[in-house]
Amino acid sequence: MHRVAVLAVPPVTAFDLTIPELVFGAALVGGSPGYEVRVGTPEPGLVAATGSLKVSVPHGLDVVDGAHTVIVTGTGARGDADPRVLAALRGAAAAGSRIASICTGAFVLAQAGLLDGRKATTYWPFSAELAERFPRVEVVGDVLFVDDGDVLSSAGLMAGMDLCLHLVRSDHGAAVANAVARLALAVPVRFGGQAQAAAGPPPESRAFSLAETRAWALGRLDEPLPLGELAAHAHTSVRTLTRRFRAETGLTPLRWLLEQRVDRARELLEATDLPVERVAERSGLGSADSLRHHLLRRVGLTPRAYRDAYRKQRAAGRGREG
């Protein structure tokens, strides 16, 4: 089983701390848990949070020993991190663990030297500070998360869920990650390069949502879905539909449909032996040429190469965890 160690650096951001347990704890592989999650801190017991709460953390920093993935969640302490935490992170990285941060956890990784010469991100209000304090880090502002191989980082709050879903997908494929997203009522896929919702205009009333229309469309990806049909299902105009899609997903309706269709194709390539032409039809991309074009744009691989690479990665992952 893939072991995930979560490091709580006081004062912890309580919401961030719950995300890995929520996402990885819900990931089932072949009906069995895909991950074991343990949370540790330098001084086990009650740990201060950034608000008025305290959280109970039962384990120490030994949770990183033998962990496949180590995640540092958000913290209100962006100054000097506990040397014991930094030593534990350096040891985990040297042992081959995958290292990740959520929100201001990036400051801890940077202090450990694990972001030197790498791309990284953090919650947008702190991006400039991260870049100024750690000039050897290539800070990528206003993205949801950055995957730099064996070191990953995300923006704050829901972007931490996006990062964890990305890790599940990398480990176990689209079907498992999408099942977790459905349980969490989260957007199945938001890619790392998507912008953080920073200083934009205030959202419109939440009384109107396109969640039902998006769910309806997901069940019909293999059918033509023109804007007029989507607008009719949402009982609104095409203009309002487009505006609300941008507000709720950051994408236009047609762009969102394309991303969902490519994601469906990836899931079918991973989980089935269907010919590429049938994958294209069932995902709504129409033809093998269209599937090839969009998959090359997204991941840089042809459909057959993607299927082969995924299966090799899965076989290698089972070997490491065995």
pTM value is 0.69
* pLDDT value at residue 108: 97
Which residue is associated with the tokens 């065995």?
Answer: 322
A 10 A CB-CB count for 89 gives 25
Q: Where are the domains of the chain?
A: 2-183, 210-322
Q: Tell me how far apart the alpha carbons of residues 249 and 23 are, in angstroms, rounded to a whole number.
A: 20
- CA distances from residue 221 to 175, 196, 216 in whole angstroms, order as listed: 16, 27, 9
Residues forming beta bridges with residue 29, ordered by sequence position: 32
Give the CATH superfamily of 2-183.
Class I glutamine amidotransferase (GATase) domain (3.40.50.880)
What CATH number matches the domain at 210-322, 3.30.230.10, 1.10.3210.10, 1.10.10.60, 3.40.630.30? 1.10.10.60
Whether 2-183 and 210-322 share one fold: the answer is no
The amino acid occupying position 72 is V
* pLDDT value at residue 186: 57
- Residue 188, Cα to own-chain centre: how many angstroms? 9
* pLDDT value at residue 277: 95
* pLDDT value at residue 318: 59
* pLDDT value at residue 44: 96
pLDDT in tens, the chain (322 residues): 899 999 999 999 999 999 999 999 999 998 899 999 999 999 999 999 988 889 999 999 999 999 999 999 999 988 899 999 999 999 999 999 999 999 999 999 999 999 999 999 999 889 999 999 999 999 988 788 999 989 999 998 888 998 999 999 889 888 888 888 877 655 555 554 444 544 444 344 444 678 889 889 989 999 999 999 999 999 999 999 999 888 877 789 999 999 889 989 988 998 899 999 999 999 999 999 999 999 988 888 899 998 988 888 777 665 556 5
* pLDDT value at residue 47: 94
Q: Tell me how far apart the alpha carbons of residues 7 and 314 are, in angstroms, rounded to a whole number.
A: 27
